[in-house]
Structure 1
Amino acid sequence: MTTDNAAARGLRIGTAPDSWGVWYPEHPRQIPWQRFLDEVEKAGYSWIELGPYGYLPTDPHQLEDELGARGLKLSAGTVFTGFHKGDEQWQRAWDQAVQVAGLAAAVGAEHIVVIPDMWRSDLTGEALEPRTLDAAQWDKLAAGQERLGKALLEEYGVRQQFHSHADSHIGTRGEVVRLLELTDPRYLNLCLDTGHYAYYGGDNLRLIQEHPERIGYLHLKQIDPEYRFDVLKNDVPFADSASRIMVEPPSGIPDFAPIIEAVSAIDPEIFAIVEQDMPGVDIDLPLGIATRTRQHIFGCTSFARQH
């Protein structure tokens, strides 16, 4: 197979505001959104995610103009859910979906990445609830996510991609597989975040091989495999360890090339979005990291494409 043929079948590589340290709609230490978009273009990416709603322009015409001026397109938006807590969580989730999915779909995105609430506060590190769910909570979580995925598809034509996450109730391999077993693939598949899955010892390639039909989207990141054990042993909150444990590729694990190639064989239209967690980072650092990361990805596999 030639490199050109491989690239034509390879995954679309993009990036996200998270790779510039953006976790909140507004924060005095975050990079201004105009500079973020300029630097994404400069780093050589064509696809981005919306990031926290309100960071980028929320008027679809303005957003489309700003993206178009830089040759960028939107792959997905993000919604946060806590369905295991009770029926009242539906309205909270749907209120977000109306905003996020409405904006994302208006500018051509086809996916919504859904992140479950963390059991530990990302601001204070305080435990907010037990780390694990009981059977009734599992049922509520699965039913809520499935209902959300069905509504997103029917109302906005976008697909739910569920993102397992450090310090959330869905993090380990067993938890991820249990969620898949409890949900309908028509309405919920995975945004497989390679770093968050490896955080709890998950084997990304094994999950891809065993559940290829449930891989709908990728977040590419690597972790420091040795520091991970310090974090887990000493119960360090993810928010406090994120900028250290999520390292610049290719210095961590997992290797990107086998993952990109395995997912490309499933569906070359799947997005692979670089998302290196760097909260509070010096705003002058991300451009260089993002540029080198893109160069690494395109240098380590021929199954990657820009558009």
Structure 2
Amino acid sequence: MPTTPEYGVDLITFYDPSFWGVNSYDEIMEIRHKNPVQIWTTIFDALSEAGITAIEMTFPPADVSSALDAFGSAEGFKTELQRRGLKLKSSFHMGSGWGPGGDRNAEVAKAVEHATFLAEAGGDTLVVGPPMRKSRDANPPLFIDHAFASAVADTAHAVGNATLRLGVKTALHTEAHSMFCTRRDIDLLLGLTDPEYVFFCPDTAHITLAGGNPIDAVVAHSERVVIAHWKDAVGPMPAGLPIEGEKIHELHQGYMCTLGEGVVDWDRWITLYDKTQGSDVRLLELDAVADPIKEMKAAKAFVENASAQNAASGSSPGQASQAHEKRS
């Protein structure tokens, strides 16, 4: 592990309307269309104040299209990041069409376009959200079986091969209520994909929401972790919730919380993560918080403190777990 890992955030951190002085996401998008430079300047200023140096781009308004509108090119975006002492690490990409019946060539083309921007702007990881499940009472039902996972794996291979040629790794993200969120799901899809081409982006909160333990779910695949979303949760969500539509993502946020206030065992997580390929960047993900500067500072301080305690005690994962229980 580097002596001093960098800290980053996913830019969804800034999507609470109150941070922008408006009342809705649609009004944030109005700002984006009228003045995309304002979106990025506001975010960059907040990152600098919080001591965060790396970013993961995501869906609008802090996405590739708005960066191009604001800075003209990937190189222009990179230049502005460097001027401010920031860097692009990764970007979130929707893989909703990766299942059976999807247009693989089209999916590869979209991923290549996204990864091309990433590479030119200095990033190295395309984080992919896999297809979502359907509600349990859906008719017809959607079974996440070997055939479904194999279709996703085939597309992941095609995309992973194409992005690697650009210097960008494709990493699968564990979105709750997707086909890649439980320990069984993770074992299935990673078991079907070649580790030379397809990598892993675990999300500690989303694995928790799906009823799992992030450490238990990740440890068998830790050699494939190139990035992770560091996020806390109060516990698993109830089974049988309706999944279709955007409401399920809103429900997710109700179960997420400030780092250290949930059930994620951060001592064991730090010990595990610091041995992975992604140990150079700790990506904090704070979904749409009202005061992102305060929350970023608090999250960074919490992780730094936990890391210092681990280092001081020379704790193993088991010993770190005991320390976590004492602090809790």
TM norm. shorter chain > 0.5: yes
How far did 1:234 drift? Answer: 5.1
- Which residue pairs with 1:48 in the alignment? 55
Give the Cα–Cα distance (whole angstroms) in 1 for the partners of residues 65 and 294 of structure 2: 22
- Which residue pairs with 1:107 in the alignment? 121
The question of whether the paired residues in 2 share the 8 Å contact of 1:101 and 1:152 is answered with yes
Structure 1 residues 270 and 182: CA distance shift in structure 2, 3 A: farther
The question of whether the paired residues in 2 share the 8 Å contact of 1:79 and 1:96 is answered with no
Larger RCO, structures 1/2 (Cα 8 Å, 6+ apart): 1
Give the Cα–Cα distance (whole angstroms) in 2 for the partners of residues 131 and 292 of structure 1: 41
Give the Cα–Cα distance (whole angstroms) in 2 for the partners of residues 291 and 86 of structure 1: 44
How far did 1:181 drift? Answer: 0.8
Is 2:174 aligned against 1:167?
no
Q: Secondary structure at the match of 1:272?
A: strand
How far did 1:42 drift? Answer: 0.8
Give the Cα–Cα distance (whole angstroms) in 1 for the partners of residues 127 and 152 of structure 2: 16
The question of whether the paired residues in 1 share the 8 Å contact of 2:170 and 2:198 is answered with yes
Gaps of 5+ in 2: 18-24, 32-38, 312-328
The question of whether the paired residues in 1 share the 8 Å contact of 2:227 and 2:278 is answered with no
Structure 1 residues 129 and 42: CA distance shift in structure 2, 3 A: farther
- Which residue pairs with 2:101 in the alignment? 86
Is 2:250 aligned against 1:240?
yes
Is 2:303 aligned against 1:297?
yes
The question of whether the paired residues in 1 share the 8 Å contact of 2:231 and 2:259 is answered with yes
- Which residue pairs with 1:3 in the alignment? none
How far did 1:120 drift? Answer: 5.5
- Which residue pairs with 2:158 in the alignment? 147
Range that drifts further, 13-22 or 172-181? 13-22
Q: What amino acid is aligned across from residue 197 of structure 1 in structure 2?
A: I
Percent identity over paired residues: 24
Give the alignment's Cα RMSD to 1 decimal.
Answer: 2.8
Give the Cα–Cα distance (whole angstroms) in 1 for the partners of residues 302 and 262 of structure 2: 13
How far did 1:193 drift? Answer: 0.7
Gaps of 5+ in 1: 1-5
Q: What amino acid is aligned across from residue 8 of structure 2 in structure 1?
A: G
Give the Cα–Cα distance (whole angstroms) in 2 for the partners of residues 139 and 212 of structure 1: 22
The normalised TM-score by structure 1 is 0.82
How far did 1:235 drift? Answer: 4.7
Range that drifts further, 46-55 or 180-189? 46-55
Alignment: residue pair count: 283
Q: What amino acid is aligned across from residue 205 of structure 1 in structure 2?
A: I
The question of whether the paired residues in 1 share the 8 Å contact of 2:126 and 2:170 is answered with yes
Q: How does 1:118-267 map to 2 (within 5 A)?
A: 118-119=132-133, 130-154=141-165, 156-225=166-235, 228-229=236-237, 231-232=238-239, 235=242, 237-267=247-277
Range that drifts further, 208-217 or 126-135? 126-135
How far did 1:275 drift? Answer: 1.1
